[in-house]
Amino acid sequence: MLLRQAGQGQPQALAQLVRRYQALAYTVALRVVGNPQDAEEVVQDAFLKAFAALAQFQRAAKFSTWLYRIVYNTALTKTRSRVPGDRPQPFETALEPATGADGWEAVRRADQRKYLALALARLPPEDALVLTLHYLAEQSIAEICVILGKKTSAVKMQLLRSRKQLEQALTQLLPTEFQHLL
């Protein structure tokens, strides 16, 4: 219903889609382009492209998978057009903090997000992206294959390698506290 309304150009439906998917779209873009300004531009461009092509959306796939594929491709195009020597800056994760937690639980969750973001920043961007899509966006391996344009075996291997790299990065950041972080 929401997609049909958005396809008809109803502003409320378009706004609701943006609210629902913009945080993770921004995170995907940020993982690829590496800086907040470019990521914001990529997300805006990707939403415009998606809304313009909404009539061509194949409902056999999830809307989020289709949208994140557009975000990913737009981000890749942005990185290719970069001026040589223009290096991305480190970043924090763009996902919204969980609401409803109070006191020490909120502090614990903030620490988890902080150290996971620092550890993810130590990984190659595409490895961090695969972990972000799988664990934060809860995309299946098949959906990640569609988003990244890779085969199942490649995504599975990349997930395995990325988890090991993440564990090593967390161990380096928090040698004794690592086991309690997750």
- Cα–Cα distance measured from residue 119 to residue 138, given in angstroms and rounded to the nearest whole number: 19
Residue length, the chain? 182
The closest of 132, 102, 111 to 120, measured between CA atoms, is 132
What is the DSSP annotation of 91-113? ----SPPPSS--HHHHHHHHHHH
pLDDT digits (tens, 9 = 90+) for 67-104: 999 999 999 999 888 655 554 444 444 444 444 546 67
Determine if the pTM surpasses 0.75: no
How far from the centroid of its chain's Cα atoms is residue 32's Cα? 9
Which residue ranges form the domains of the chain, and what is each CATH number? 1-82 (1.10.1740.10), 103-182 (1.10.10.10)
Confidence class for position 166, pLDDT limits 50, 70, 90: very high
Q: How confident is the model at residue 181 (pLDDT cuts 50, 70, 90)?
A: low
- Of 84, 110, 80, nearest to 98 by C-alpha is 110
- Note the pLDDT tens digit of each residue in 1-37: 788 888 888 899 899 999 999 999 999 999 899 899 9
